[in-house]
Every structure is written in C-alpha cells, then in structure tokens.
Amino acid sequence: MLKTEWILKRSMEINVSRNVTKETSGETPGAETMSIHIVALGNEGDSFHQDSRPSGLIRTYLGRSPLVSGDEGSLLLSAASAVARPVFTEYQASAFGNVRLVVHDCPVWDIFDSDWYSSRNLIGGADIIVIKYNVNDKFSFHEVKDNYIPVIKRALNSVPVIIAAVGTRQNEELPCTCPLCTSDRGSCVSTTEGIQLAKELGATYLELHSLDDFYIGKYFGGVLEYFMIQALNQKTSEKMKKRKMSNSFHGIRPPQLEQPEKMPVLKAEASHYNSDLHNLLFCCQCVDVVFYNPDLKEVVEAHKIVLCAVSHVFMLLFNVKSPADIQDSSIIRTAQDLFAINREAVFPGASPDSPGNPPLRVIVKDALFCSCLSDILRFIYSGAFQWEELEEDIRKKLKDSGDVSNVMEKVKCILKTPGKINCLRNCKTYQARKPLWFYSTSLKFFLNKPMLADVVFEIQGTTVPAHRAILVARCEVMAAMFNGNYMEAKSVLIPVYGVSKETFLSFLEYLYTDSCCPAGIFQAMCLLICAEMYQVSRLQHICELFIITQLQSMPSRELASMNLDIVDLLKKAKFHHSDCLSTWLLHFIATNYLIFSQKPEFQDLSVEERSFVEKHRWPSNLYLKQLAEYRKYIHSRKCRCLVM
C-alpha cells in the first residue's frame, strides 16, 4: 500500500502545480483538445445482492469527481455510440477543464469475447486500464484472472493498470472457525490473491470497501487522476517533439504515407443451437422413445440422446450407464419410482405396422408427473434452465400448490448430478445461468461414441457413429437426407466422400456442441468446405472469422516466410461461395502488397483480381514515386534525411 500512498501524495502535488500554471500562463483559445481513453474491465457487482447494488465504480466516479464535468444525461452515450461499439458501455466527459475523457466499460466477458477484434483494438488504444471485481464474488475474480488478464498481457505496452477490489468481505472480522463461517470466508477473494494478480501485471492494487466519497473521490480518484496527468504529460511531450521536428526542416517535405483502406468487417451469425434442439421435440422425426400414462395411453414422443444429455436418470433407464457407474441411490430410486419400460411384443397403444426398430415404450408411473410430462420435456429440450416458466406451466395444470411442489421436486431429482447435493433447489438463482447443455452432462459425451447411435458414417476406411436426431435438428441437408426418398433414409452405414475423418469429426463436434476449434488455417478451410457442402452457414462464418483472425495476428516477417498459398486460399473461398472471406482476402493481399507481390503465386491472380489489388495496393504507386524523388533530393543536397 506504500506505492498507493505515494501516488496519492504525488497526485495532489501535480494538481496544485497544474492549477498554478493555468492561472499564470492561461490557455490559448481554440487550441486542439487533448483526450484520455480509459478501458474498464470486469464486474464489481455482488452477484448475491444484485437488486440492492449501487451504481458501478466508473459511473460513480464520473458523477462525483470535482475534476470531471458533464451532467448525468451526457455521461452515458445513446444509440449512436452503442451501434459503433456494441461490446462496451461508452461514457464521455471533460476533465481538468478542457481534456476530453472517454471511458469504455465492459463488465461481462461473454459480451467482450463476442467481438474480439473490436475489444482488442480498444485495449490496444487505451491510456489507462481499470480492472475491477467484487471481493465477495470469486466468479468475477476468476473471470478477470482467467479471461481478461491474458488479453491485457498480450496488448499491454507501458500502459498503467489499476486493479480495484470492491466491497467488504463477509465474515472477515469473525474469529469463528465453524464449517459454515469457514465456507463463507472461502467464497471471498483475499487481499493476497489481489496483490498477487497486481504483481503479475505491475499494476496498482486498491481495495474500495464502499463506493462513497472517500474511496471514490480521494482514494480511487486520486490514483486515477495521477495516471491521467501522466498520460497528458506524455502526449504533450510527443506533440512538442513532432512540432519541433517539423519546424526544424524548411526544405522539401517528405511524402506522407496514407493509411491503408479499412478491411471489410465480418459479422458473425447468431447461434440457434437451443432453438434447433427445442424444435426437434415438435418435428416428430427420428423418435426412438414413447411415453405412456399408467392407463397405457400415449402421452408424448421424445429422443433418447437429448434426454440422456441432461439426465443421469434417463442414462440409467436406457442402459447408457449402469447403477455401478452412477453410484447414487437417489438417482436409482427416482428412475425406479417414476418409469417402467414395457418390452411386450403386443402393446395396446402401439401401431400394428411398426417398422423393424420400433421406439422404446416407457410407462410413467406417477399420474401427476405424467400429466405435466409434455411441459417437462419442452423445458428439457430448451436447455433445462427456464425454471420459472416451467413452474408457471405446471401451476396452470395442477391447482394444488402441494402437487406443483411435488412435481417440481421430481424434475430436480431427474436433473441431479451423481454424488452431489441437489444444486437446483433454488430455481430463481439458476434461472440466469446458461442452458444445461453447457454443464456436467452434455451432447459432447456422445460424440463419436456408439452409445444410442443409430447411424454410422464410413470415412477413409474408418467408421464414425452418430445420432440421427441431432443431425436432423442441426443440419437441414441431413434432415432432408434422412427423411426423404434417399438411400440414406433406410441405411445404417453411410459413406462420406471428399472429406477427411478429422474434418468430419470437427463438423460433427460443431453440430453436437455449437462450437469448434480448428488446429490452423488449413483445417479451418477444410471445415469451411465441409460446412458449405452441408449448408451450415453459421459454421462457415466461424471458419471465416478464424482464418481472418489468424492472418491478422501474423507479423509481416511471418507473412513473408509462411508456406501458406494465400492466392489458393482466395480461389477456394470463391469456389465454395465464401464471398465475405474472398473479399477480405483480396483487401488483405492489397494491404500487404510488397510482401505478396514477391511470391510466385501472385501471378496466379486473375485479371480482375490483379486489377483490384493494384487499385487498392498499399503503399500506393504515387507514394513510392514521391519517396524516390525525396530520396534523390536528399542525396543531391548531401543533407541528413529526417525520415529514413
């Protein structure tokens, strides 16, 4: 804390000297306004007390600091800035009288990660970075440590960083050592953890027990304003150096290199993973299990793979796992009490002309549970996290509150994780979380495994098992293939041509999990071709963004020495109707003209492509011509060049 105290003291000294300078010298009217850019990352709110949480750290500082001017309405920009930078909340104000202060605040990592290119550019252009978390929320601390910090380390370039630990730790002053108090204390972020994180970045560590005038105005504000003054001093010094250099040379001026054209922006397609699986329940395709009530009347059809993806009870019921594998008596008891499998050849509710592999018949023993089964399955197919909607639907059918609680408790038992206390008891806190596909059991568990598989792909002499229900839900081409008058609709073994096994497995991984991670540009291009073959547009966009990100992150030396044929990549993108990628690659070749024009594959560009590249090349022919003339002039005058 000695470093913080010195900064506070130094900040007050600089503020005093700055005010004296203003009074004596004055400021020139119409002078160019300087600006400071601050980026704030992390969530300082307490996840356990969100309803009573005060305003955030940044907004509170901007509203209270005497050095910052701007009314409440002008701090938060409206739609104009939100469209330009959807990832961040943008604030603007004036500091020290005439200094423009711009603050971008992003409290949620998922939003930050959704537009990685814009987020990285903002961090790279920051004058000060503020990292904030709540001391009573380990999740917000680990989100900062595991997600934001690696990004900041890569982009950090002598930029001051402030780490603000907000809040008062619960039970910190209590000496009690009972398990309950110890567990509460373990959920807090300790001072040691915060200081260790600050050491890794060389940052200034502050603990703000509350967002009052002392901690915000004098403590946090003093440190922040010190770094703001340092940034202004550095910018003023750089501006004076440039002005001095331009005034010291009165001969012919060197040519100005214009900025390259802006690269096309690719917009990612929104995920429809949850809606795909939800629609599977209503399309009645690839059904392999039918539920009946105790009177043997059909209630609803479903799919084993989806039910097993969220519930160990269904895994046990459909023999995916044995009782020895689960080792949880409550799950075994729930499966036995609620369901019974009927394997009779003649069944009252079954169709007499059932196909060779009829759906499995499951009898629901509990009449109340059975009456709400359609709502429960809709809840499961939607991701098993919308608890309030489920309870409302059940309450419409069952008027008695005791019956509603009984059915809801059975649903929680179905979704229970083996060996753990039922973590779903508080449905309201679970409501804000992600769908259950992203937790414990998921569809990825069944990827490339024979369990419940009803189709096998033959690729390069090897076989890959899969599940028709998932393929039909996630891919329209496969839905038509398995349900139309095609050979694949009646065959179990389906050959696949023109795709390697690794690429096809990556394709299936996307269908099952809605995510993929190619090993490199070549594999991403192969996966893009596979996605185009099966008309999965969102996967195409993901591959395009991956290729663009990889190429943009390469330094010029690596671009010059790499073996990747960029022109061949361009032609493949055009052939497979990847218009966004092909347009971007043309701009990329033009922007790096001096590198790619020396490569032999540059001659393979078509006449139209060559014309586009020459027109948009950087640096331009005009600049190179002016530079040559300037060098000739400098050489003829035998004077020292200020540029070269």
Q: Cα dist. 528→170, 468, 501, 536 in Å?
A: 51, 22, 14, 9
- The residue that leads in pLDDT, 169 or 407, is 407
- The residue that leads in pLDDT, 10 or 622, is 622
Q: Cα dist. 173→176, 185, 207 in Å?
A: 9, 10, 16
At residue 301, the 3 state secondary structure works out as: strand
| Residue 386's pLDDT band (cuts 50, 70, 90) | confident
Q: What is the mean pLDDT of residues 336-361?
A: 70
Other Cβ atoms within 10 Å of 452 Cβ, number: 20
When mean pLDDT is compared across 171-180, 268-277, 281-290, 539-548, the lowest value belongs to 171-180
Q: What is the pLDDT of residues 30-57, one digit of tens each?
A: 446 788 888 888 888 765 444 444 468 8
What does the alpha-carbon distance between residue 165 and residue 168 come to, in Å, rounded to a whole number? Answer: 9
Q: Is the pLDDT of residue 208 over 60?
A: yes
- The residue that leads in pLDDT, 631 or 7, is 631
According to the per-residue pLDDT averaged within each range, which of 232-236, 280-284, 325-329, 569-573 is highest?
Answer: 569-573
| Residue 159's pLDDT band (cuts 50, 70, 90) | confident
The CA-CA-CA angle for residues 357, 361, 362, to 5°, reads 150
Task: Tell me the backbone φ, ψ of residue 585, rounded to 5 degrees.
Answer: -65, -35
Q: Is the pLDDT of residue 236 over 50?
A: yes
| Residue 12's pLDDT band (cuts 50, 70, 90) | very low
Q: What is the pLDDT of residue 429?
A: 44
Q: What is the mean pLDDT of residues 576-589?
A: 93
Q: Is the pLDDT of residue 244 over 80?
A: no
Q: What is the mean pLDDT of residues 391-398?
A: 90
Residues in contact with 368: Cβ distance below 8 Å, sequence separation at least 6, in sequence order: 398, 403, 406, 407
Other Cβ atoms within 10 Å of 554 Cβ, number: 15
Q: What is the mean pLDDT of residues 11-24?
A: 40
- Per-residue DSSP letter, 148: I
Residue matched to tokens 């060197």: 254
Q: How far apart, in Å, do the first and last CA atoms of the chain sit?
A: 47
Q: What is the pLDDT of residue 80?
A: 36
Q: What is the mean pLDDT of residues 600-620?
A: 92
Other Cβ atoms within 10 Å of 450 Cβ, number: 10
For the chain, give the mean pLDDT.
80
- The residue that leads in pLDDT, 189 or 22, is 189
Q: What is the mean pLDDT of residues 243-250?
A: 59
What does the alpha-carbon distance between residue 182 and residue 126 come to, in Å, rounded to a whole number? Answer: 40
Q: What is the mean pLDDT of residues 156-170?
A: 84
Q: What is the pLDDT of residue 418?
A: 80
| Residue 575's pLDDT band (cuts 50, 70, 90) | very high
Q: Is the pLDDT of residue 223 over 90?
A: no
Q: What is the mean pLDDT of residues 599-609?
A: 93
Q: What is the pLDDT of residues 425-453, one digit of tens each?
A: 444 444 444 454 443 347 888 999 999 99
| Residue 343's pLDDT band (cuts 50, 70, 90) | confident
At residue 219, the 3 state secondary structure works out as: helix
Give the rounded percent of residues in the chain with a pLDDT score beyond 70: 78
Q: What are the structural domains, with CATH classification, of the chain?
A: 1-20+33-46+54-70+85-171+188-240 (3.40.50.300), 284-344+357-417 (3.30.710), 554-643 (no CATH)
